[in-house]
Amino acid sequence: MRRSLPIQHLSYLGQHNETSTTKPAMMATASYGTWKSPITADSVIETAASIDDVIVDPVTSAIYHLERRSNEGGRNVLIQTEHHSDLFEEGWNCRTRVQEYGGGTAKAYDSVVYLSNFKDGRVYAVKERSSPEAITPGKAPLLHAEIEPNYIIAAVLEDHTQLEPANVVTIICFINTLTKTVHPLISAVDFYATSAFSPDGSHLVWQQPKHPDMPWESGEIYVGVVTYDASSQTIVVTNTQYVAGKHSEAGAAYPFWVNGDVLIFTVDVSGFQNPWTYSVSTKKAAPILAEPRDEEFSLPGWSLGGSFGVVVHPGDNNTNTTILFSAFKDGRSQLYLLTPCSGVIEELVSPYVVISSFRRVTDGNVVFIGTKVDEGVTLVHCNLDDYASPHFTALAGKTHSKFSPAFFSRPRSITLNTGPEDEPLYVLYYPPTNPEYEAPEDERPPAIVHVHGGPTRHELQGLKMTVQYFTSRGWAWVGVDHGGSSDHGRKYICPNKERLKGNWGIVDARDCVLAAQQLPVAPHNLIDPTRAALRGPSAGRYTVLETLCLYPDVFAAGTSLYGISDLVKLAEFTHKLEPQYMAKLLGGFVTDEEVKKIYVERSPVNNAHKIKCPLLIEQGSVDPAVPPA
Q: Report pLDDT for 620.
A: 66
Q: How confident is the model at residue 382 (pLDDT cuts 50, 70, 90)?
A: very high
Least confident range of 2-16, 447-461, 503-517: 2-16
* Alpha carbons 513 and 507: distance in angstroms, whole number: 10
Mean pLDDT of 396-408: 84
Dihedral angle over CA of 19, 22, 25, 27, nearest 10 = 20
Q: How confident is the model at residue 47 (pLDDT cuts 50, 70, 90)?
A: low
Q: Report pLDDT for 256.
A: 95
pLDDT at residue 13 tops 80: no
CB atoms within 10 A of CB 291: 9
pLDDT higher for 535 or 589? Answer: 535
| Phi-psi domain of 317 (left: phi exceeds 0; alpha: psi -120 through 50; beta: other) | left
Interval 424-435: pLDDT, tens: 999 999 999 999
Q: How confident is the model at residue 6 (pLDDT cuts 50, 70, 90)?
A: very low
pLDDT at residue 142 tops 60: no
Extract long-range pairs of 41-50: CB within 8 Å, 24+ residues apart: 41/469, 43/402, 43/403, 43/465, 44/465, 44/466, 44/469, 45/70, 45/71, 47/376, 47/398, 47/465, 50/377
Interval 552-585: pLDDT, tens: 999 999 998 877 888 888 877 776 677 778 888 8
| Mean pLDDT taken over the chain | 86
Q: Report pLDDT for 304.
A: 84
Q: How confident is the model at residue 89 (pLDDT cuts 50, 70, 90)?
A: confident
Least confident range of 90-104, 492-506, 529-543, 584-598: 492-506
Q: Report pLDDT for 150.
A: 62
**Chain-centroid distance, C-alpha 58:** 25
* Alpha carbons 175 and 305: distance in angstroms, whole number: 18
Q: Report pLDDT for 540.
A: 86
Mean pLDDT of 277-283: 96
Q: How confident is the model at residue 103 (pLDDT cuts 50, 70, 90)?
A: confident
Interval 296-337: pLDDT, tens: 999 888 788 889 999 999 877 777 899 999 999 888 999 999
Q: Report pLDDT for 406.
A: 93
* Alpha carbons 124 and 254: distance in angstroms, whole number: 25
pLDDT at residue 408 tops 80: yes
Q: Does 351 sit behind a cis peptide bond, omega within 30 degrees of 0 on the bond before it?
A: no
Interval 326-352: pLDDT, tens: 999 888 999 999 999 999 999 999 999
* Alpha carbons 116 and 103: distance in angstroms, whole number: 10
* Alpha carbons 618 and 318: distance in angstroms, whole number: 53
